[in-house]
Structure 1
Amino acid sequence: MRHASIRTLLVICAALVLPATAAAPASAARGDPALQAALDDVVAAGGTGALAVVDDGRRTIQLTSGVARLEPRQALRPSARFRVGSDTKTFVSVVALQLVGERRLRLTDTVEHWLPGLVPNGQNITLRMLLNHTSGLFDYGADETFFAEFLADPTRPRTPRELIAIANSHPPSFEPGGGWSYSNTNYILAGLIVEKASGRALERLVEQRVIRPLGLRSTAFPATTRIAGYHAHGYLPPSVTGAGYRDITAVDPSSVWAAGAMTSNATDLRTFYEALLRGRLLAPAQQRELLTPVVVAPTFSYGLGLFIEQLSCGPVFGHNGGIPGYVSWTYTDRAGERSIVLMMPTQPDDALFPVLTKALDLAVCRMFGRPPL
Structure 2
Amino acid sequence: MSRSSVRLSRGAAAAVTVGTLTVSLAAGPVSAAPASVPAAPTVRAPGPTPSGPAVRDLTPAVARQLDAAVQKMMHEADIPGAIVGIWTPGQPGYVRSFGVADTGTGRKMTPGLYMRIGSETKTFTVSALLQLVDRKKVGLDDPIGRYVDGVPNGDKITLRQLAEMRSGLFNYSEDPGFFKALTTDPQRPFTPQQLLAYSFRHPVLFQPGQKFSYCNTNLILLGLVVEKESGQRLGDYIRQHVTNPAGMKDTLFPAGNAFPRPHAQGYTEQTANGRAADAADWNPSWGWAAGAMISTLENLRIWAPTVATGRFPDGTRMVSAATQKQRLITPQANSDKGAGYGLGIFDVQGWIGHNGSLPGYESLTVYLPSTRTTLVALLNTDTDYQGQEPSTVLGKAITTIISPAHVYNLPVTRTG
Same-fold call, TM cutoff 0.5:
yes
Q: Distance in 1 between matches of 2:378 and 2:161?
A: 29
Which position in structure 2 is the counterpart of 1:266?
297
Residues 335, 92 of structure 1: alpha-carbon distance in 2 compared, 3 angstrom cutoff:
farther
Counterpart of 1:331 in 2: which secondary structure?
Answer: strand
- Deviation at residue 350 of structure 1 after TM alignment: 2.9
Residues 283, 28 of structure 1: alpha-carbon distance in 2 compared, 3 angstrom cutoff:
closer
Which position in structure 2 is the counterpart of 1:23?
27
Which position in structure 2 is the counterpart of 1:222?
254
Q: Distance in 1 between matches of 2:172 and 2:406?
A: 41
Residues 365, 41 of structure 1: alpha-carbon distance in 2 compared, 3 angstrom cutoff:
closer
- Deviation at residue 23 of structure 1 after TM alignment: 3.3
Residues 28, 227 of structure 1: alpha-carbon distance in 2 compared, 3 angstrom cutoff:
closer
Which position in structure 2 is the counterpart of 1:98?
131
Q: Distance in 2 between matches of 1:155 and 1:372?
A: 38
Name the TM-score, length of structure 2 as normaliser. Answer: 0.80
Give the alignment's Cα RMSD to 1 decimal: 2.8
Q: Distance in 2 between matches of 1:105 and 1:371?
A: 36
- Deviation at residue 9 of structure 1 after TM alignment: 7.1
Aligned residue among 320, 332, 351 for 1:283: 320
Which position in structure 2 is the counterpart of 1:151?
183
Aligned residue among 303, 308, 333 for 2:347: 308
Q: Distance in 2 between matches of 1:240 and 1:349?
A: 17
Q: Match for 1:249: what amino acid?
A: A
Aligned residue among 88, 92, 113 for 1:80: 113
- Deviation at residue 4 of structure 1 after TM alignment: 3.6
Q: Would you say the 8 A contact 2:115–2:361 is kept in 1?
A: yes
Counterpart of 1:69 in 2: which secondary structure?
Answer: coil
Which structure has the highest helix share of the two? 1
Which position in structure 2 is the counterpart of 1:65?
98
Q: Distance in 2 between matches of 1:135 and 1:174?
A: 8
- Deviation at residue 302 of structure 1 after TM alignment: 0.4
- Deviation at residue 212 of structure 1 after TM alignment: 0.6
- Deviation at residue 27 of structure 1 after TM alignment: 5.1
Name the TM-score, length of structure 1 as normaliser. Answer: 0.88
Q: Which runs of 5+ in 2 are unaligned?
A: 1-10, 35-59, 312-317, 409-416
Q: Distance in 2 between matches of 1:92 and 1:167?
A: 19
- Deviation at residue 254 of structure 1 after TM alignment: 1.6
Q: Distance in 2 between matches of 1:231 and 1:253?
A: 15
Q: Distance in 2 between matches of 1:248 and 1:260?
A: 14
Alignment pair present for 1:33 and 2:64:
yes
Aligned length: 361
Q: Distance in 2 between matches of 1:112 and 1:144?
A: 26
Q: Would you say the 8 A contact 2:21–2:269 is kept in 1?
A: no
Which position in structure 2 is the counterpart of 1:198?
230
- Deviation at residue 367 of structure 1 after TM alignment: 4.8
Residues 271, 370 of structure 1: alpha-carbon distance in 2 compared, 3 angstrom cutoff:
same
Residues 129, 22 of structure 1: alpha-carbon distance in 2 compared, 3 angstrom cutoff:
closer
Q: Which runs of 5+ in 1 are unaligned?
A: none
Aligned residue among 100, 123, 147 for 2:155: 123
- Deviation at residue 349 of structure 1 after TM alignment: 2.0
Alignment pair present for 1:247 and 2:278:
yes
Aligned pairs (5 A) from 1:353-368: 353=388, 357-368=392-403
Q: Would you say the 8 A contact 2:382–2:389 is kept in 1?
A: no
Q: Distance in 2 between matches of 1:198 and 1:238?
A: 35
Which structure has the highest strand share of the two? 1
